[in-house]
């Protein structure tokens, strides 16, 4: 069941989202050659602790509970990369996904960062991924239902010669990180049956994942990290968004 939020509740989510945006600002400044993904994760974890926020990802159940405050995925890693002693290298692209609960409300956001100079394919992939998220923000204030937004997102990716990941989707968000509805970045006949209206009070985490070479993905032996099936690079962009009477508000922006 989709639970619409009041303006006061959306403002509380905005505070959580603002802290998530600050975490990205902190992490983005650390994306340089030689830094380990564990160091970046620790910095974000400490920021949340200082502000009295709980990291959403740490301890998420699975065959192995997720051990960190962030998911950090490099190059062909699509999502859910586990921070480690791996050092960033010049030319890497790094997708960092993180979220927190502050005063009972959640924010969730992901962004892909370049480490130094990157090649032309990765640069274009990043541009298309970011543009796809921007289209969602723009179209959500214009379209009556989500499927029409998803169709625009999907066509943007395909027209660029890239591929939308279909094994993973966005989600509703509020007091919990994952709420109804599911929010796909593509359209199929099956998902069209679960379409939903873009009504005031709707809060969702929209997160297009775009691959350079194939839509197919694989789960690695660590039980969490998902990679492209062909080893091609991938990008991930996500914002927590609220549909309000006067338009769409990006809750995870500074």
**DSSP single-letter state for residue 62:** S
CATH of the domain at 90: 3.90.230.10
Which pTM does this prediction carry?
0.97
Write down the pLDDT at residue 194.
87
Residue 41 is assigned to a structural domain of this protein: yes
Query: What pLDDT is recorded for position 136?
Result: 98
CA 169 to chain centre: 10
User: Residue 2 domain-assigned?
Assistant: no
Angstrom CA distances, 88 to 16, 95, 232, stand at 28, 12, 18
Domain count for the chain: 1
Segment 222-228 mean pLDDT: 98
In this structure, of 13-27, 130-144, 189-203, 228-242, the range with the lowest mean pLDDT score is 189-203
pLDDT at residue 75, as a whole number: 99
**Closest listed residue to residue 109, CA positions, set 21, 214, 212, 235:** 21
Q: Which of 115, 136, 120 is nearest to 208 (CA)?
A: 136
Mean pLDDT of 10-35: 98
pLDDT in tens, 151-166: 999 999 999 999 999 9
Distance CA 183, CA 137 (A): 13
Q: In the sheet where 77-79 sits, what is the strand order?
A: 77-79, 226-228, 217-219
Whether residue 176 is contained in a domain is answered as yes
Confidence of residue 223 (pLDDT cuts 50, 70, 90): very high
What residue numbers bound the domain in which 64 lies? 7-250
In a domain, 1, yes or no: no
Mean pLDDT of 58-72: 97
Tokens of 162: 């890239």
Residue 174's pLDDT is 98
The reply to whether 241 falls in a domain is yes
The pLDDT of residue 209 is: 98
What confidence score (pLDDT) does residue 188 get? Answer: 86
C-alpha distances in Å from residue 108, one per residue of 20, 57, 90, 136: 7, 10, 27, 16
Closest CA to 165 of 110, 117, 90: 110
In a domain, 227, yes or no: yes
- Across the chain, mean pLDDT equals 97
The whole-number average pLDDT for the span 52-70 is 97
pLDDT at 118: 98
CB 119 within 8 A of CB 95: no
pLDDT band at 92 (very low <50, low <70, confident <90, very high): very high
Residues 6+ apart with CB under 8 A from 70: 23, 27, 40, 41, 44, 45, 55, 57, 83, 96, 97, 98
Render pLDDT for 179-209 as a digit per residue (tens, 0 to 9): 999 999 999 877 777 899 999 999 999 999 9
**Residue 111, pLDDT above cutoff 80:** yes
Q: For residue 190, what pLDDT is reported? A: 74
Q: How confident is the model at residue 132 (pLDDT cuts 50, 70, 90)?
A: very high
Judged by DSSP in three states, 216 sits in coil
Model confidence at 216: pLDDT above 90? yes
- Separation of alpha carbons 28 and 39, rounded Å: 12
DSSP β-ladder status, 247-250 and 209-211: unpaired
Q: What percent of the chain has pLDDT over 90?
A: 97
Q: What pLDDT does 189 receive?
A: 78
């Amino acid at each position: 069941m989709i639970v619409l939020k009041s303006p006061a509740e959306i403002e509380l989510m905005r505070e959580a989202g603002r802290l998530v945006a600050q975490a990205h600002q902190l992490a983005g400044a650390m994306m340089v050659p030689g830094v380990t993904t564990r160091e970046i994760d620790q910095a974000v974890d400490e920021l949340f602790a200082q502000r009295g926020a709980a990291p959403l990802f740490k301890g998420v159940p699975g065959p192995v509970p997720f051990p960190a405050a962030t998911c950090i995925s490099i190059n062909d890693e699509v999502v859910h990369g586990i921070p480690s002693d791996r050092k960033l290298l010049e030319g890497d692209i790094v997708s960092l996904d993180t979220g927190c609960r502050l005063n009972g409300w959640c924010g969730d956001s992901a962004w892909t960062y370049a480490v130094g100079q990157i090649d032309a394919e990765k640069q274009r992939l990043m541009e298309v991924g970011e543009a796809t998220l921007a289209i969602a923000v723009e179209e959500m204030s214009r379209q009556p239902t989500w499927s029409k937004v998803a169709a625009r997102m999907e066509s943007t990716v395909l027209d660029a010669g890239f591929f939308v990941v279909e094994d993973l989707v966005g989600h509703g968000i509020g007091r919990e990180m994952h709420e109804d509805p599911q929010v796909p970045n593509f359209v199929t006949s099956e998902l069209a049956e679960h379409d939903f209206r873009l009504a005031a009070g709707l809060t969702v985490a929209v997160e297009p994942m775009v691959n350079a070479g194939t839509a197919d993905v694989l789960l690695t032996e660590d039980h969490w990290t998902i990679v492209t099936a062909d080893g091609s690079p991938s990008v991930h962009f996500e914002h927590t968004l609220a549909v309000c009477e006067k338009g769409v508000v990006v809750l995870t922006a500074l």
